[in-house]
């Protein structure tokens, strides 16, 4: 009987397509194949093979591609991702699969040269210098050779033309050399050593069983014994089966648990407590066992500083994976990972879909970061998917944070995750003293934004030769521009956003779609000349104020739109770390993960910014951000302090920050979430309906809501116009679905969408399970 293969195609298609398997070709699940699709050929993955008499009527598979098949765990991850996010299965597949055109881009060939043995026709002194270096016959890059000989590149080129040097293509630089787990073990503090011991015991229950005395109760880190597990590590994924009762308490004693499941571990430690060194030991342990480790970071945290730190510990830099990596290099990383040759990858969220051969550990650094949520295409949360991948691979997952998400904290409290705590800063360093500046009393001068007491503190700091950071989470010069004569406000033509003035670029820019226009000399509405006024501050405006106050100090403004791109930005962050500037003015970009040893003062210019949004996580997010940014102070030799400008010093978030009573904040916030049935105690999903026409979008949203038919435990709110009602010319309405935890949200959504109105014209419905953004 002929064979039929079910082929999943990495396009936005929900199901696999059937193709005939031609005689002579044997296909297995996971094989990557070429297939005809409509008039063209494309790539797909075999998702199933069966015998069927109908095989003869189908178009045949063209052939198998010479690439490694998609492994079982990755296929499981694709299935999981699609089922959980409701994304088309083909879109989920696309995240793991190399797309054919990606490889087309060739890597630049490096040319190496060496002495050919032939004497130069014209032996100038410069030429002889080059030949003296090249004499050893080693292959060197052209510029390396020129540099070593102390001559210009043209001398080397001349010798190549002359035949005295021969040129050959160099093998491409390896994407990563093998890290040495014992390269340079740093002496750990007692708390760190305790945490490492616990961490490794949790990761390897068998090892713990061998030396239980070492593993039990010596948790210098204050880990809490968990209750019996309530289900799978991922709260929202409970209904996906596999919800075996896991008893974390058992793992650590290793008492007769035949098939222990690899745990998820929350590594919680205040800023500067040395979490990195702790999880580096877990990485080292994993590498020693011949397994691979993945360290996920929010993209912007992937700094040279971190990679250097890794190199100090392991002797080489790790392979890195983020949006700035070229296609050819990606290909080589993918191959190296699949072959098991690359032992450690440090990457942004998409690294989660790399085809690791022997994954032994996933670390999610700064696990609370909202940047882990992908907000377009497949709406997935990389932290949650890391937990899923860990479960599929049965490898431990470490979630590191100074300010864990409420979800993770609750998971740890309920025993689904283990928890390790580093309560103090490394090396006896103190956490910064934090004080509020009550802006109702301590008012900045008219037209300025920095309170006198903060100015005084900056003055003291720079006078002592230390660094100060002024934090404001707003890019550009001013968030709003209006005409003083007619009141006209400058708005994006594609989005419902105000245009943000960027004085440096002399432009008004939309931060949503990138639309930019020249800042007009006269009002485009009433024509009044030179009467436009900026409203409110952005970092550029603060820089203006600071420059006027401290004209002879070195000042730098750092935000994600820093001119010169990511490379330049990384270099600037490094120079801040090296102490090459006095005052840093920055957005959240500088708030996170960086280590600036000379920084002793942090000034938060507007602590209240995030508190008024309608986001159910507003308090949590503000707390995390303020805790992170104030935590930049005093990480070096000298103690640090933070001053926080606020109009509501009594707000619970600000009060918790000032008092340092973190536990109280978590307790209250968790109680509030539970009372409101918000995640993780209830579940949320958002449906975002958009169209080029406002009425069409609204009508579709209403029709969709009418079909909702919510059962018990499900609430459907909306449609309501989205806070960002217009983006890139598309009008947006949101429906919010709120359910009890026991509800099978995915099945409900799937059925609802299926019976809902047909999507017509340019209407789009995006589904966002566990939304992080409510805009
Ligand atoms: P966290 O990630 O918890 O904020 P880090 O891991 O960045 O903290 O450590 C904070 C600082 O302490 C860094 O400068 C780091 O180099 C230093 N540090 C941490 N542990 C050690 C150690 N065992 N020996 C020397 N320095 C350490
Ligand atoms: Zn816009």
User: How far does the centroid of ligand 2 lie from the alpha carbon of residue 295, in Å?
Assistant: 35
- Within 186-323, where are the H helices? 190-203, 205-210, 212-215, 248-253, 275-288, 304-314
Q: Which DSSP letter does residue 229 get?
A: P
Nearest to 80 by CA among 434, 304, 386: 386
Residue 178: predicted pLDDT = 93
DSSP structure class, residue 522: B
Looking at residue 99, what is its pLDDT? 53
The pLDDT tens digits of the residues spanning 714-754 come to: 999 989 999 899 999 999 999 999 999 999 999 999 999 99
Ligand 1 nearest atom to the CA of residue 188, by list position: 23
- Distance (Å, rounded) from C-alpha 366 to C-alpha 297? 7
Q: Using a 6 Å CB cutoff, which residues line ligand 1?
A: 186-189, 192, 269, 271-277, 426, 595, 635
Distance between Cα 379 and ligand 2 center (Å): 22
Q: Are strands 111-115 and 63-64 parallel, antiparallel or unpaired?
A: unpaired
Beta pairing, strands 480-483 & 532-535 = antiparallel
**The pLDDT value given to residue 594:** 79
pLDDT in tens, 182-213: 999 889 999 999 999 999 999 986 544 443 33
CA dist 473 → 500, 569, 635 (Å): 13, 17, 22
- Which residue has the CA at smallest separation from atom 10 of ligand 1? 272
Going from the Cα of 7 to the center of ligand 1, the distance in angstroms, rounded, reads: 49
Degrees to nearest 5, angle at CA 475 with 469 and 479: 125
DSSP 664-680: HHHHHHHHHHHHHT-TT
Ligand 1 atom closest to Cα of residue 189: 23
Give the number of whichever ligand sits closest to the CA of residue 422.
Answer: 1
Model confidence over 110-135: pLDDT tens digits? 778 888 888 888 889 999 999 999 88
pLDDT of residue 711: 95
Which pLDDT tens digit goes with each residue over 1-50? 778 999 999 999 989 999 999 989 999 999 999 999 989 999 999 999 99
Greater pLDDT, 150 or 235? 150
The residues with which 689 forms a beta bridge, in sequence order, are: 733, 765
Q: Which atom of ligand 1 is nearest to the CA of 631?
A: 4
Integer Cα distance of 198 and 207 in angstroms: 11
Is the per-residue pLDDT at 159 higher than 70? yes
Distance CA 255, CA 248 (A): 11
- Mean pLDDT of the 452-476 span: 96
Q: Which residue has the tokens 């089922």?
A: 83
Rounded Cα gap, residues 13 and 508, in angstroms: 40
Nearest CA to ligand 1 atom 17: 274
Pocket test for ligand 1, best of 274, 308, 429, 636 (most atoms within 8 A of CB): 274
Q: d(Cα 246, Cα 234) in Å, to the nearest integer?
A: 13
- Distance (angstroms) between ligand 1 centre and the Cα of 273 equals 6
* 453, 457, 649, 674 from 441: Cα distances, Å: 11, 17, 11, 36
232 pLDDT higher than 50: no
Residue 407 or 571, more confident: 407
Kindly report, residue by residue over 424-455, the tens digit of the pLDDT. 988 888 889 999 999 999 999 998 999 999 99
The pair of three-digit structure tokens given for residue 380, joined into one six-digit string: 């997935």
What's the pTM value of the predicted model, to 2 decimals? 0.84
Average pLDDT of the residues in 487-513? 90
Mean pLDDT for the stretch of residues 299-304: 69
- Pick from 217-226, 392-401, 434-443: least confident: 217-226
CA of residue 601 to ligand 2 center, whole Å: 36
Q: Which contacts qualify for 450-453: CB closer than 8 Å, 24 or more apart? A: 450/542, 450/545, 450/546, 450/549, 450/603, 450/605, 450/645, 451/645, 453/643
Residue nearest to atom 23 of ligand 1 (CA): 188
Which of 66-75, 606-615, 762-771 has the largest mean confidence? 762-771
- Which residues make beta-bridge pairs with 44? 33
269, 277, 578, best to mutate for ligand 1 pocket (most atoms within 8 Å of CB): 277
Contact between 85 and 67 (Cβ < 8 Å): no
Above 90 in pLDDT, residue 98? no
pLDDT in tens, 579-599: 999 999 999 888 876 789 999
Residue 511 has pLDDT above 80, yes or no: yes
Q: How far apart are CA 195 and CA 213, in angstroms?
A: 15
**Ligand 1 pocket: which of 426, 593, 639 to mutate (most atoms within 8 A of CB):** 426
Give the mean pLDDT of 521-525. Answer: 89
pLDDT at position 253: 29
Residue nearest to atom 19 of ligand 1 (CA): 274
Percentage of the residues of the chain whose pLDDT score is greater than 70 = 90
Locate the ligand 1 atom nearest the alpha carbon of residue 597 and give its number: 14
- Classify 292 as helix, strand or coil: strand
Q: What percent of the chain has pLDDT over 90?
A: 66
pLDDT digits (tens, 9 = 90+) for 682-702: 999 999 999 999 999 999 999
């Amino acid at each position: 009987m002929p064979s039929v293969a079910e082929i999943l195609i990495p396009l936005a298609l929900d199901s696999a397509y059937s193709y005939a398997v031609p005689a002579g070709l044997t296909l297995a699940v996971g094989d990557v194949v070429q297939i005809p699709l409509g008039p063209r050929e494309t790539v797909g993955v075999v998702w199933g093979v069966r015998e069927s008499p109908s095989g003869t009527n189908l178009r045949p598979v063209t052939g198998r591609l010479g690439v490694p098949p998609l492994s079982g765990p990755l296929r499981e991850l694709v299935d999981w991702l699609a089922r959980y996010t409701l994304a088309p299965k083909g879109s989920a597949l696309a995240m793991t699969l190399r797309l054919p055109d990606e490889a087309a881009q060739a890597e630049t060939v490096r040319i190496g040269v060496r002495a050919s043995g032939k004497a130069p026709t014209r032996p100038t002194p410069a030429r002889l210098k080059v030949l003296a270096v090249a004499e050893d016959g080693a292959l060197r890059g052209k510029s390396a050779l020129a540099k070593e000989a102390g001559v210009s590149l043209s001398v080397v080129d001349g010798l190549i033309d002359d035949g005295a040097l021969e040129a050959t293509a160099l093998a491409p630089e390896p994407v990563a050399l093998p890290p040495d787990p014992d390269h340079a073990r740093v002496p750990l503090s007692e708390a760190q050593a305790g945490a490492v011991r616990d961490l490794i015991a949790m990761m390897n229950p068998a090892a713990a069983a061998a030396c239980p005395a070492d593993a039990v109760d010596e948790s210098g880190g204050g880990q809490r014994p968990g209750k019996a597990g309530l289900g799978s590590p991922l709260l929202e994924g409970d209904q996906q089966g596999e919800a075996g009762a896991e008893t974390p308490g058992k793992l650590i004693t290793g008492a007769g648990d035949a098939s222990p499941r690899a745990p998820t571990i929350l590594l919680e430690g205040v800023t500067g407590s040395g979490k990195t060194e702790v999880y580096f030991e877990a990485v080292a342990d994993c590498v020693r066992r011949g397994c691979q480790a993945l360290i996920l970071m929010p993209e912007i945290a992937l700094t040279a500083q971190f990679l250097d730190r890794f190199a100090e510990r392991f002797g080489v830099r790790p392979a890195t994976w983020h949006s700035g990596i070229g296609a050819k290099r990606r290909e080589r990383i993918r191959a190296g990972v699949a072959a098991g040759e690359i032992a450690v990858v440090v990457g942004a969220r998409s690294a989660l879909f790399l085809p690791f051969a022997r994954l032994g550990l996933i670390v999610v650094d700064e696990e609370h970061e909202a940047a882990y949520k992908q907000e377009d295409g497949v709406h997935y949360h990389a932290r949650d998917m890391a937990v899923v991948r860990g479960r599929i691979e049965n490898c431990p997952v470490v979630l590191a944070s100074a300010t864990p998400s409420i979800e993770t904290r609750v998971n740890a409290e309920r025993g689904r995750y283990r928890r390790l705590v580093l309560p103090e800063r490394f090396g006896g360093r103190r956490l910064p003293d934090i004080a509020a500046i009550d802006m109702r009393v301590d008012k900045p001068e008219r037209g300025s934004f920095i309170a006198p007491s903060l100015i005084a503190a900056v003055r003291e700091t720079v006078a002592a030769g230390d660094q100060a950071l002024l934090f404001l989470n707003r890019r550009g010069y001013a968030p709003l521009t209006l005409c003083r004569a007619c009141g006209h406000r400058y708005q994006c033509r594609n989005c419902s956003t105000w245009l943000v003035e960027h004085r440096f670029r002399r432009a008004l820019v939309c931060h949503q779609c990138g639309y930019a226009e020249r800042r007009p000399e006269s009002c485009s509405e009433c024509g009044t000349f030179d009467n436009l006024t900026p409203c409110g501050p952005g970092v550029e405006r603060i820089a203006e104020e600071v420059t006027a106050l401290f004209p002879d100090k070195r000042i730098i403004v750092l935000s994600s739109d820093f001119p010169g791109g990511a490379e330049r930005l990384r270099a600037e962050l490094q120079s801040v770390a090296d102490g090459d500037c006095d005052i840093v003015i920055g957005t959240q970009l500088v708030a996170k993960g960086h280590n600036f040893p000379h920084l002793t003062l942090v000034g938060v210019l507007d602590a209240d910014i995030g508190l008024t949004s309608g986001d159910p996580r507003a308090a949590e997010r503000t707390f995390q951000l303020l805790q992170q940014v104030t935590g930049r102070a005093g990480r070096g030799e000298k103690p640090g302090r933070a001053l926080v400008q606020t109009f509501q010093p009594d707000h619970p978030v600000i009060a918790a920050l000032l008092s340092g009573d973190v536990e109280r904040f978590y307790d209250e916030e968790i109680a509030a979430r539970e009372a409101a049935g918000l995640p993780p105690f209830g579940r949320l999903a958002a449906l975002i309906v958009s169209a080029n026409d406002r009425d069409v979008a609204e009508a579709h949203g209403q029709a969709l809501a009418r079909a909702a038919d919510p059962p018990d435990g499900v609430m459907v709110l909306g449609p309501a116009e989205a806070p960002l009602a217009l983006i890139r010319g598309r009008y947006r309405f949101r429906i919010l679905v709120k359910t009890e935890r026991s509800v099978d949200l995915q099945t409900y959504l799937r059925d609802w969408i299926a019976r809902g109105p047909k999507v017509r014209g340019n209407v789009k419905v995006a589904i966002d399970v566990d939304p992080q953004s409510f805009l």
